Amino acid sequence: MNSIIFTAAARLLVALLFVFSLFMLLRGHHLPGGGFIGGLIGAVAFIVYSLAAGPAEARLALRISPEVIAMVGLGIALLAGLFSFFMGDPFFTGQWYWVGGDSYETSVFSINTVLVFDIGVYLVVLGGILSLTYAFEEET
Amino acid sequence: MSWVLVMPIAVPFVTAVVAYLARNYPAGRWISLAGSALSLVASAVLMVAVLNEGVVAAQMSNWNAPFGITLVADYLSAVMVVITAITGLATAIYALGEIPEETESLGFYALFQVLIAGVTGAFLTGDLFNLYVWFEVMLIASFSLLVIGGGKERLDAGIKYVALNLVSTLVFLSGIGLLYGVTGTLNMADLREAVANAENQGLITVIAMMFMVGFGVKAAVFPLFFWLPASYHTPYFTISAVFAGLLTKVGVYALMRMFTLVFVGDVGFTHEILIWVSLLTMFTGVIGAAAQSDFRKILSFHIISQIGYMTLGLALFTPLALMGGVFYLVHHIIVKANLFFVAGLAKQYAGSTDLNRIGGLYKSAPLLAALFIIPAFSLAGFPPLSGFWAKYLIVKAALELDAWFIAFVSLLVGLLTIFSMTKIWGMAFWKPHPDGIDPTPDRAPARVTLAMMIPIIALASMTIVIGFYPEPFVQFAQTAAEQLLDPSDYVTTVLGVQP
């Protein structure tokens, strides 16, 4: 697409979309958001970039092929599920470590496998959507 | 305890991830092979647990049934998981011989492992919506596997396959939605009670029919089977073997599960329909096969005809018939996957699967001929191979009900099966090669032949073992059938309380 307005706007939009997608990812679980919607917004960021700069440039910007991102995401999600094995809990039982308290209300923040799972989902969605859209864009 | 149930699903998933990352290296295929072997171990462990305890259940994420996702294995699930792992391992070995490197680097092994994970998950889940998810996992993986390697023919087959399967999934999903609206639960064990107590039994029957259609497309029963012969003859033989062995059986399994556990309120209506559907499936399948002259197309139609026997076992709804159905399911997966393996090797030797263009295999590859005879005759129901016992149980169950017509059709279809098996035998093995050449095994590299021969020999010997020593298998099927007909153990184990 050869529109200066769009190219200029895209630079701003891509960065904003990215920040928003990470925000969505991190606020998930307790508030609306999460890996899936975050991944979709992240994919939109890349799609906007590829519309502005072309799919070849967008692939370079991604550095890793989207298929690998998706598969690594699947692996991360699996690890998050398998982690509860070491705690003697069933598959996918969330493991929570509260920092500065012992529950959501009292603690400052938490380290948990649920977020790890969400990051996995984020990568799966991002990689999956991008592998589709790049393939479409490169074909036409 | 719960990990026993998770491992058969988790192992192929992990293997898929690792195999994908190693897809450009030779290590990828060995990772896939090792993963399949590990899956077999995991499923054997599950089998031992089920044999010891009858029914094993686990609540994922510690959310108790009926709210969370339950994984549950009774005898039927356990044997299906084991047989899936066996087929998976056999296929992983066979793939070493057939799959070219450029297909490997497209992520073939990862997709294959995801397919196995999907099939295993469908056998193990105790939650209806989760079953839908596993169906989707299977569908996505199988669609990719169907078209991988490219070509117009494969794409054409793939589109038919995916379109019709999506329709089935939609019907299934609508059924789930309605059922949830009526009962407020999707846990299968919980549904049994909830469906029995539902006020509007008419609506329940409608929902039952939606499930029958949805699973019927997956299982390829009459008149919903047309996607199967349109697609199974195009992909790699490795793929069509695993499809033929496992995919339609998931539909049969789902039918067996739902129509013994949940939809048993109006057996006179639903199972009567199933009887006629089964008979027509058996008959049209075998007639369709008679009209074909391609190795794989004949085998594809035979899948349909054999599916009829399995659903018939369910439809007759007696302990003996269900026992026959379960036995048939297990026997058929081994035999059918093996026949497709043989077809692949026959193509390696003779150059085609079109029966008019090949021949002379008996003379040049007597071992392959012998190995074809075993599954082929087993499929047709020759004593003392495994198919004989399977058919015997079904026919005996029909006779016990004085259902002469059903018994007659079963026997007739068996006879017609022999007809098309002898057709393959005569044209591919006995008749001289039309090009006048001698299809020697030397045409394929030794590594390829070896990788393809091992699974064929292994599965053929399993057929023989089941045939000559059916006692433990029949007893197992009997317990499985008893559990299906009286699922109180299943319900109690899942819900953790007396119903």
Res B498: pLDDT: 42
Asked if A138 reaches chain B (Cβ–Cβ under 8 Å), the answer is: no
Token readout for B10 is 């988790």
Res B229: pLDDT: 86
Question: Which of A67, A78, A89 minimises the CB distance to B14?
Answer: A78
CB contact under 8 A, A91 and B61: yes
Asked if A94 reaches chain B (Cβ–Cβ under 8 Å), the answer is: yes
- Token look-up 């589709």 returns A132
Distance of CA B48 to the CA centre of its chain: 22
Q: E strands, chain A, where?
A: 96-99, 109-112
Boundaries of every domain in chain B = 266-486
For residues B68-72, average pLDDT:
89
Kindly provide the ipTM of the predicted complex, given to two decimals.
Answer: 0.87
Per-residue pLDDT of chain A (140 residues; tens, 9 = 90+): 578 888 888 889 999 999 999 999 988 777 888 889 999 999 999 999 988 888 888 888 888 889 899 999 999 999 988 888 888 788 888 788 888 777 777 877 778 888 899 999 999 999 999 999 988 888 76
Q: Judging by DSSP bridges, how do beta strands A96-99 and A109-112 pair with one another? A: antiparallel
Question: Which of B6, B18, B107 minimises the CB distance to A91?
Answer: B6
Which has the closest alpha carbon to B36: B111, B110, B113, B108?
B113
Nearest CA in chain B to A78: B14
DSSP label at residue B441: G
pTM: 0.93
* Residues B341/B310, Cβ–Cβ less than 8 Å: no
* Residues A82/A51, Cβ–Cβ less than 8 Å: no
Q: Say which residues have a Cβ less than 8 Å from residue B485's Cβ, sequence separation at least 6.
A: B260, B317, B319, B322
Token readout for B453 is 């021969």
Which has the closest alpha carbon to B388: B439, B441, B319, B464?
B464
Residues of B in contact with A64 (CB under 8 A): none
- What are B429-462's pLDDT values in tens digits? 888 877 777 666 666 677 888 888 899 999 999 9
- Neighbour count for residue B398 (Cβ, 10 Å): 26
What are the CA-CA distances from residue B336 to residues A87, B252, B306, B339 (Å)? 42, 15, 10, 5
- Token look-up 């070219």 returns B100
**CA gyration radius for chain A?**
18
Cα–Cα distance, B128 to B188 (Å, whole number): 6
Task: Using pLDDT thresholds of 50, 70 and 90, give the confidence band for residue B208.
Answer: very high
Residues of B in contact with A74 (CB under 8 A): 13, 16-17
